[in-house]
Amino acid sequence: MTSGTIVVCGGGGFIGGHLVADLLRQGKKVRAIDVKPLEEWFQAFADAENRQLDLRERGACQKAARDAELIYNLAADMGGMGFIENNKALCMLSVLINTHLLMAAKEAGVPRYFYASSACVYAADKQTDPNVTALKEEDAYPAMPEDGYGWEKLFSERMCRHFRDDFGIATRVARFHNVYGPHGTYDGGREKAPAAICRKVIEAKLSGRGEIEVWGDGTQTRSFMWIDDCVKGTQMIMAGDFVEPINLGSSELVSINRLVDIVEEIAGVKLKRRYNLKAPKGVNGRNSDNMLIEKVFAWEPSTRLRDGLEKTYHWIYKQMTSGKAQSSVRAPALAR
């Protein structure tokens, strides 16, 4: 017998915190789980049941899943390209979280389970050109995903499929494409490109240096999804009948140079760019093909990058100028 409790694993992280907030606004009963101490959560809500648990351990997953109606698994040891390229073993160990959570969900009779996958599952040979053809769901196979992080995600997608087929758990999988917004990491080594560029522009503006470092040559392309679109799409996919992995991302493709342009426009500055060609930069091009999500749900993430970046920039600026600057200690581990 379930209690109507919705469990958000990785609830102290960036996406998890926003999801918890939205569920609470809907009047839902929420159990938020994260490995970090509560004071290090990016958002914590008194109305939720907040638990500090290491979900790599099976016993912790059993505690998390007890009496749950739904489980959202957003927990992973992850970060931006600088982190995942240099921590492949840590990224692979996140397989313990999804494996143990699925086992716990089966034991507890949890009827529905969401797994947050990633665009990093897509084959590398389809992402060699900045003028990339948008990635369709079937492009994950033949498999050659991002080493470490991408392989773990692809394996865990298959685990969800087989738990659905063999044990009847209604698993749902979304492949997130570069989520950004406030209440996330912007410093310390795990931050992703939008937050990193915002921080670098703010630092240059506040210091008067007039220069920033850009990883790579700036021509690599990506799409970036606003956090509210991610939260809406995640719940839509969880509640829907579509069972295969599906893209959840914006189709607005931009180069890193254009990303810097937009943040400079928001900040009202023009900076000299120093390109670090030895820094991690990932694939040359990646974009989300949204034909399937439009067909299945008659919807796609559509918040303009400029609009989301403006809100993100101002939130980071406020944090950096109010004595709340992050450190590598505060960067999220085992949470989205």
Catalytic residue list: 149
Place of tokens 């310390």: 188
Please name which of 312, 286, 308, 299 lies closest in space to residue 226, comparing C-alpha atoms. 308
CA 265 to chain centre: 26
Beta-carbon contacts of residue 260 (< 8 Å; ≥ 6 apart): 197, 201, 212, 214, 218, 271, 273
Q: Token pair of 93, please? A: 């160990």
**Angle 80-83-84 from CA coordinates, rounded to 5°:** 85
- Going by C-alpha positions, the residue among 114, 135, 335 that lies closest to residue 234 is 114
In this structure, are residues 71 and 7 in contact, taking their beta carbons and an 8 Å threshold? Answer: yes
Cα(311)–Cα(318) distance, integer angstroms = 11
328 contacts: CB under 8 Å, gap ≥ 6: 187, 188, 189
The Cα–Cα gap between 192 and 182 comes to 12
Tokens of 281: 């930069």
